[in-house]
Amino acid sequence: MNTMKTIILMTGLTLLLVIAGNALGGRNGMMTAFIFASMLNMATYWFSDKIVLAMYGAREVSHAQATELHSIVRELSLRAGVPMPKVYLIDSDTSNAFATGRNPDHAAIAVTRGIMNLLTQNELSGVLGHELSHIKNRDILIGTIAATVAGAISMLANMAHWTMMFGGRRDDREGGNPLLAFAMMIFAPIAAMLIQMAISRSREYLADENGAKIAGNPLSLAKALGKLHRGVQSIPMEVNPATAHMFIVNPLSGGGFITLFSTHPPIEERIRRLEKMVRS
């Protein structure tokens, strides 16, 4: 269900790019914005592991330095059928974790010191199963594609805004409608962001479901999510909002975000779905 939802949302985002691109910049403007957004996002995607891990001061730990953590990741990797990712530790008392890397062969899982102290072994297995699911499902790539299309739409809207300010206009020979262009300039970036956030939430639901299956116990992941949510609220973590979607629980969740504009589903709904897996 969540996979089909992602496909539908990605299709909708692509159609929005075509419609908004034609209205705001014509075919040439649309291609220029898309190529530029692709270059920026693909560079980030290719070096995502190094960029994000350095941003949070994560250090790689060996099996000897973190025996329990390494052992769990290795066992779950075998169950998931993915290569063993590199394991990193973030020196922070907050409780969170994320996965990064451009593909399963170049992946990394990072956990905070706080999560190691907070969770039981079974709960930690649920969290690591969730992160391995992101790696297996290539969610970093999917997120990058969504960000590229949404970024191209935002660039087109900005281009149209500056063109309007300086009295320019696009070539009407392509059948441009000024009213449609104005509406797209206002609403297309908002719609693109909403779709991008919805894609992120659908991937979190899918990672919860698959991660619980990999770890073998949905209730352990459900309990872990509840603990992590309370932990983030009690000990907030300073994060770059652009990377908030990568964490298993939203590190910015203390601010009461509107659900439609959140990268993460409501924690209560995630727990409810995991508990339903046990009953069914």
Query: For the segment 221-251, what is each residue's pLDDT rounded down to a tens digit?
Result: 999 999 999 999 899 888 888 788 899 999 8
Let me know how long the chain is.
280
Torsion of CA 194, 196, 199, 200, to 10 degrees: -100
Among residues 60, 68, 123, 131, the one annotated as catalytic is 131
Torsional class of 167: left (φ above 0), alpha (ψ -120 to 50), beta (otherwise): left
**Is 133 buried (19+), middle (13-18) or exposed (0-12) by CB count in 10 A?**
buried
For the chain, give every domain's residue range: 2-279
Counting as low any pLDDT under 70, the low residues of the chain are 1-2, 24-25, 29, 41, 162-177, 253-260
pLDDT at 162: 66
- Concerning whether 131 is annotated as a catalytic residue, the answer is yes
Torsional class of 204: left (φ above 0), alpha (ψ -120 to 50), beta (otherwise): alpha
pLDDT at 266: 93
pLDDT at 249: 95
Residues of the chain with pLDDT > 90: what percent? 49
pLDDT at 166: 59
Q: How far apart are CA 173 and CA 35, in angstroms?
A: 23
Measured CA to CA in angstroms, residue 268 lies from 17, 183, 202, 219, 247 at distances of 33, 36, 15, 13, 17
Torsion of CA 52, 56, 57, 63, to 10 degrees: -80
Please count the other Cβ atoms lying within 10 Å of the Cβ belonging to residue 92: 18
pLDDT at 164: 65
pLDDT at 32: 74
